[in-house]
Structure 1
Amino acid sequence: MDPTRYVFLTGKGGVGKTSTASNLALTLANRGKHILLVSTDPASNLQDVFEMELDETPRLVTGTTLEIANFDPEQAAKQYMERMVGPYRGVLPDVAIQSMEEQLSGACTVEIAAFDQFTELLTSKVARERYDHVIFDTAPTGHTLRLLTLPSAWDEFLETNTTGASCLGPLAGLTDKQVQYKQAVETLTDANETTLLLVARPEKSTLVEAARAATELRAIGIERMQLVINGVVESSEGTDRYTKRFIERQQQALDDLPDGVVDLETFTLPYAYENLVGISALQRFVSREPVAISDARYDTSRYESVDQLVDELEADGPSVIMTMGKGGVGKTTLASLLAVALHERGHAVHLTTTDPAAHVALTIGADVSETFTVDAIDPKAEIEKYRTDVFREAGDLNEEQRMMIEEDLRSPCTEEIAVFRAFADQVAKAKDRFVVIDTAPTGHTLLLLDATESYHRELERSTGVVPEAVRTLLPKLRDPKQTHVIITTLPEATPVYEAERLTADLQRAEIQPFAWVVNQSFTPLDVTSKLLVAKVASETTWLERVSNNPRPTILSWQEQLPVGYSALSQLIKEEVR
């Protein structure tokens, strides 16, 4: 590669963006370049990879010219709120201060505060002078695209908003940033300054996601893109049926690249034979040092089967079931599998997703019957419904009043509010049926859940009406008989760390996880190749760690990806012990 000054990595969750960003940063640092590696992901695990405590202040990796920083969007939101509210404390009445804090307590504030940090770095003269390259380990694709399109969106919104208020509260804290935002847009779209690395694995779903991202990025003026395919295995490794099929599936994906990425300059990274955690492991991977292979294998007798998990879900009767975890761990497949299992036992089931990057329709197909229905929350459709409802509830308006509401609805926050309301409507369906929700990647999901009270207030402010589904949502999510949260992970370091952080955040919100599912494990399989023996050994630590959580359940790696109702039904039969 001949990297530009700014490099962004994006891709479907779980493809290895952080390890790829870390390897790129370390490689350049080993060549004597001064590098800043920064995460803008609310669900970042950069601190886990480098085994360092990180915050927004860059810290030097010992023995290198590499510095690392980790933006904390929630902390940035608190600082942003205080910058907005602080000057008025002791000046305005307490009730006015409380109102300002409420307006600034939602997910939108987290979004704009994180974006504010991001653009400051992108336009910083100090960073330009200090570093040869700034590498952004960004969030999963949906969030990254939102982050990259925000400069134009906020620029337009700030120019046209005349009321001085939006769902973000007073805009005084933003209007002085318009020049900074314009500079950020110019830098992002300058091919001499910025490269977008689309990271994928040699798997169809991640390559399709990369192609979709490439199309959307071109639409906002970003042309310099390259493709990195992570975890490619040499064909000579195949010595057992599972390894051969593993390599065969990779090759099929590589031979059939989607149109959106087929013409991009492409780089490949080899499969890692150890977990890339710690500077020593990263340096071994960068220098291609041989890795000692262990033959350790974990005893999974403490784990439940999916069939046993369904027994326990069924015992509580109709409820909400949410699969949650880091992007790319198989939440969509697990949600579909549980939905099919419950339907096979004679229950009415509704399967849906709040994740704009999910593929429920591809995994399960359309509605199976009157008692098995499938849909997805479409953000564009939900925004239009929300707009219609706002104007209907507002009643007769004069032209000035209509313009004020139109301005408010042009805020990028509107999508978050509209999708949240649709999520509440889905949860409310769990009266006479199981509602299985494939939720968004961790960061977005937590914003959605944590913002319940904020959105309650925002809906009341915008429409004067809070739907029943919204009023009853949080109590329902906290009731272990009405809501079952299934933490989904892989037997790997990053997904397990992320699942643990997710669990802690849920518990702070008084939501207790019902079960943990380890997906795509090779440990239950009879493998003999160097590749998969190493993979099984690397799973040991993480399977032991997960086993201490409620109802640990294991799903083995599948030779054929289960697509469609029949394939999922057959998988359930095979997994029964």
Structure 2
Amino acid sequence: MAKFLLYGGKGGVGKTSCAAATGLSLARRGERTLIVSTDPAHSLGDALGVALGGEPTAVTENLWAVEADPAAGQEQYERIVRALAAEFRRAGLDLSEADVDRLFEAGFVPGSDEVASLSFFLDYDADRWDRVVFDTAPTGHTLRLLTLPDVLGEGLSTAMQIRGEVRQLVDRARSVVFGPAAFWGRDDDAEDIEAFRADLREVAELLRDPERTEFRVVLLPETLAIEETARLVERLRQFAVPVETLVVNRVLESAETDCARCRARAESHEHHLDEIRERFDGMAVQVVPDLGPEAYGRDALDELAERLRV
């Protein structure tokens, strides 16, 4: 298994349970494992029976869990924007603190959850963890998370290029008036911005590296879930994110003979499983049975882990 394992898919398909079960299974094998929830509506703590926050919390032997904090993403994003604004001001552009403040007056900036989540790919890519399992947000959030390194990196690159061109013009004018003194005592924030860009490039490379990252799509044996999964798999492959496994969750594998509704549901699931295998030919399909309405807690997660082949 790759070091980073991401479970994704539409809301309500069981991503959190799959991530929690995987983490428990890996920890039981002796691998130091961190489970990260990147979903703004966190439920990982409920699944594990542990109160979680923005720092890794011990769950059991060899297992820790953490919930990405959007406030941390906001803080990191704001620090970079303010550094960039300072760069533009030094380059001669009229950009006041009030202009920058208006970017944050409405609360969390779009993508603050995703910015916070990105840090877990780098801060925890060290000897401390053998495996990092991600319980990702529903499809739209997850796609923003996966594309954010490219989008932010390109935006910062363009901004720094404009800043460089403007600064060149201003420096020439200053040097005519002040000579070499024009360049004395300059406080440069460019290093912070460049370091952030380097981190983004590293995350982008990591997400595309099949030796280090695996993305598993969780879905239900239902028509709408299959269609959304097809779109997600296509987008992941467009961004070269390794995705080779589908986890079909809550499959009714057998039904009581005297329950017509149960038999119809089991037949529908079997039909959709055939469709999934045909439509996603070449991908591994893991079938997880419907564990029933009482499937909650560690025992249910242990049973789920047996079917996930981790």
1:285 Cα deviation (Å)? 4.8
Counterpart of 1:200 in structure 2 is 219
Task: Give the SS at the match of 2:55.
Answer: coil
1:159 Cα deviation (Å)? 1.2
Counterpart of 1:101 in structure 2 is 101
Q: In the TM superposition, what are the counterparts of 1:80-95 in structure 2 within 5 Å? A: 80-81=77-78
Change (3 A) 1:50 1:110: farther
Matched, 1:263 2:261: no
* Contact 1:9–1:17 (CA under 8 A) maintained in structure 2: yes
Q: In the TM superposition, what are the counterparts of 1:62-81 in structure 2 within 5 Å? A: 62=60, 64-78=61-75, 80-81=77-78
Change (3 A) 1:60 1:41: same
Percent identity for Structure 1 against Structure 2 = 31
Counterpart of 2:158 in structure 1 is 160
Change (3 A) 1:37 1:188: same
* Contact 1:11–1:199 (CA under 8 A) maintained in structure 2: yes
Work out the CA distance in 1 between the residues paired with 2:302 and 2:156: 46
* Contact 1:40–1:138 (CA under 8 A) maintained in structure 2: yes
Change (3 A) 1:255 1:47: same
Task: Give the SS at the match of 1:103.
Answer: coil
Matched, 1:19 2:38: no
Counterpart of 1:132 in structure 2 is 130
1:201 Cα deviation (Å)? 1.0
* Contact 1:198–1:228 (CA under 8 A) maintained in structure 2: yes
Change (3 A) 1:153 1:273: same
Change (3 A) 1:97 1:279: farther
The aligned amino acid for 1:148 is L
* Contact 1:77–1:110 (CA under 8 A) maintained in structure 2: no
Task: Give the SS at the match of 2:102.
Answer: helix
Matched, 1:181 2:218: no
Matched, 1:28 2:31: no
Matched, 1:243 2:262: yes
Matched, 1:220 2:239: yes
Q: Structure 1 length as normaliser, TM-score?
A: 0.43
Task: Give the SS at the match of 2:127.
Answer: helix
* Contact 2:8–2:218 (CA under 8 A) maintained in structure 1: yes
* Contact 2:74–2:108 (CA under 8 A) maintained in structure 1: no
Work out the CA distance in 1 between the residues paired with 2:101 and 2:33: 38
1:268 Cα deviation (Å)? 1.3
Change (3 A) 1:187 1:42: same
Matched, 1:252 2:252: no
Task: Give the SS at the match of 1:32.
Answer: coil
Unaligned 5+ runs, structure 1: 89-95, 165-170, 289-577
* Contact 1:49–1:276 (CA under 8 A) maintained in structure 2: no
Matched, 1:190 2:187: no
Task: Give the SS at the match of 1:202.
Answer: coil
1:49 Cα deviation (Å)? 1.3
1:61 Cα deviation (Å)? 0.8
Matched, 1:142 2:140: yes
1:242 Cα deviation (Å)? 1.5
1:26 Cα deviation (Å)? 1.1
Q: Structure 2 length as normaliser, TM-score?
A: 0.77
1:74 Cα deviation (Å)? 3.9
The aligned amino acid for 2:21 is N
**Deviation string, structure 1 residues 529-567 (Cα, Å, up to 9, x no partner):** xxxxxxxxxxxxxxxxxxxxxxxxxxxxxxxxxxxxxxx
Work out the CA distance in 2 between the residues paired with 1:180 and 1:80: 13
Work out the CA distance in 2 between the residues paired with 1:194 and 1:105: 36
* Contact 2:69–2:116 (CA under 8 A) maintained in structure 1: no
Q: In the TM superposition, what are the counterparts of 1:140-539 in structure 2 within 5 Å? A: 140-161=138-159, 162=161, 174-257=193-276, 261-283=280-302, 285-286=304-305
* Contact 2:115–2:145 (CA under 8 A) maintained in structure 1: no
* Contact 1:119–1:180 (CA under 8 A) maintained in structure 2: no
Instruction: Provide the alpha-carbon RMSD of the alignment.
Output: 2.9
1:247 Cα deviation (Å)? 1.1
Task: Give the SS at the match of 1:242.
Answer: helix
Change (3 A) 1:44 1:276: farther
**Deviation string, structure 1 residues 117-149 (Cα, Å, up to 9, x no partner):** 33322123x543111110111111121112101
Q: Which has the higher contact order (CA 8 A, sep 6+)?
A: 2
Unaligned 5+ runs, structure 2: 87-95, 164-188
Work out the CA distance in 2 between the residues paired with 1:120 and 1:231: 32
* Contact 1:73–1:110 (CA under 8 A) maintained in structure 2: no
The aligned amino acid for 2:301 is L
* Contact 2:73–2:113 (CA under 8 A) maintained in structure 1: yes
1:240 Cα deviation (Å)? 1.0
1:245 Cα deviation (Å)? 1.6
Matched, 1:116 2:120: no
Work out the CA distance in 2 between the residues paired with 1:67 and 1:151: 26
Work out the CA distance in 1 between the residues paired with 2:304 and 2:127: 30
1:102 Cα deviation (Å)? 2.1
Task: Give the SS at the match of 2:231.
Answer: helix
Task: Give the SS at the match of 2:126.
Answer: helix
**Deviation string, structure 1 residues 464-520 (Cα, Å, up to 9, x no partner):** xxxxxxxxxxxxxxxxxxxxxxxxxxxxxxxxxxxxxxxxxxxxxxxxxxxxxxxxx
Work out the CA distance in 1 between the residues paired with 2:279 and 2:158: 34
Change (3 A) 1:155 1:80: closer
* Contact 1:15–1:199 (CA under 8 A) maintained in structure 2: yes
